[in-house]
Structure formats: C-alpha cells, structure tokens
Amino acid sequence: MRPLDAKKRTYGLLVVVFIAWGILIYRFVSDLNADVVLPTQMLSAKVNFKNSTKPKQTFELLTLTTDPFLGKAKSTSKKSAQKSSVSNAAPWPQIKYLGIVADKKGKASVFIIEIDGVQYLLNRLEEAKDVKVISGSLTKVSLRFNGQVKQFSN
C-alpha cells in the first residue's frame, strides 16, 4: 500500500460521511418546517362535552373481632354518639363514625361514616344523605343534619 492510496480512501470516506449527514439534517429540518394541513371536517366539527359526575362509591367493611397483628380480642365499649341540645327537629339517621384515612402530614383526610347501614367515604364539607361533614379528627367527627350539629366518636 502506498501512502497516497490511504489519503484518497480517507478523503473519499469523509465525502460519503458528509453527504450522509447532509441528507439526515435536510430531512430533519424539512420535517420541522412542514406545514400541517388539517382536513376541513376536523375544523368545522362541533365537540359536545357532557358534564358527567360519578356517583360516590360505597363499600362495606367487615368488623374484626380480633386484632390482626396482636391476635387479641378488641374491646367493644365505645360511645357512638353524644346527645344534642336541640331535639324538636327531624330525627337523625343511624350514624356511626368508623374512622379516618389520612396522609402522614394530615392535610388530606377522608372520613369513613356509616349512615343507615351504608358506608360512605367523605371529605371535609362533603355531604351524603343530607349529612354534612364539618370537621373531624382521629377519634371524633362533627356532622350537620338539618341545621343541627352533633359529634360522633368511634
């Protein structure tokens, strides 16, 4: 091999590489500058959005007679409701406060409340069967029904 042949081969390959890169760059730039033409049917179509609200999910929790971690029986001597001072309005439905599901920071909390045998997951200021959650903590929740406010504990 002579040194002149190696130089010719190198320059020839260099030209081929530049041509290949030039083609790739040209295709990329031409795709970026291409105008997108939409069909006239797409431009004149009317879109009707329906406001659909999902119904609240209800579920039923089974009561546990034993603690699943310790294996001991749970005590059932808990208060279910405190008496209200106003008693002339409509009677309250059967309500049980079952607990709270919250994140570690306590910012987002969902209260588990059983109303007439049906369990509901309610956030603060949400309402189910005319019962509105006012506030709550781990041990108690304040509910409003027909203008009356009661506290329930679990």
CA dihedral 111, 114, 118, 120 (to 10 degrees): -10
Q: Is 125 inside any structural domain?
A: yes
Q: Decide: 128 and 119 in contact? Cβ < 8 Å.
A: no
The Cβ-side half-sphere exposure at 107, using a 13 Å CA radius, reads 1
pLDDT band at 114 (very low <50, low <70, confident <90, very high): very high
Place of tokens 């795709």: 31
- 135 and 90 share one domain: yes
- 89 and 21 share one domain: no
pLDDT tens for 19-36 read 999 999 999 888 887 665
CA–CA distances in Å: residue 122 to residues 34, 40, 57, 130, 134 = 52, 47, 10, 12, 10
Q: Decide: 92 and 82 in contact? Cβ < 8 Å.
A: no
- 109 and 82 share one domain: yes
Q: Is 15 inside any structural domain?
A: yes
pLDDT score of 118 more than 70: yes
Q: In terms of pLDDT, which residue wins out, 16 or 80?
A: 16
- 65 and 141 share one domain: yes
Q: How many domains does the chain have?
A: 2
Q: Which of 134, 137, 138, 139 is nearest to 150 (CA)?
A: 134
- 104 and 139 share one domain: yes
Tell me the whole-structure pTM to 2 decimals: 0.42
Q: What's the mean pLDDT in 6-14?
A: 92
Q: Which domain holds residue 133?
A: 58-153
Q: Is 48 inside any structural domain?
A: no
What are 41's two structure tokens? 């049917």
Q: Is 53 inside any structural domain?
A: no
- 130 and 63 share one domain: yes
Q: Decide: 104 and 74 in contact? Cβ < 8 Å.
A: no
Q: In terms of pLDDT, which residue wins out, 75 or 120?
A: 120
Q: Is 80 inside any structural domain?
A: yes
Triad 71, 78, 130: Cα angle to 5°: 115
pLDDT score of 83 more than 60: no
- 76 and 104 share one domain: yes
pLDDT score of 68 more than 90: no
- 91 and 121 share one domain: yes
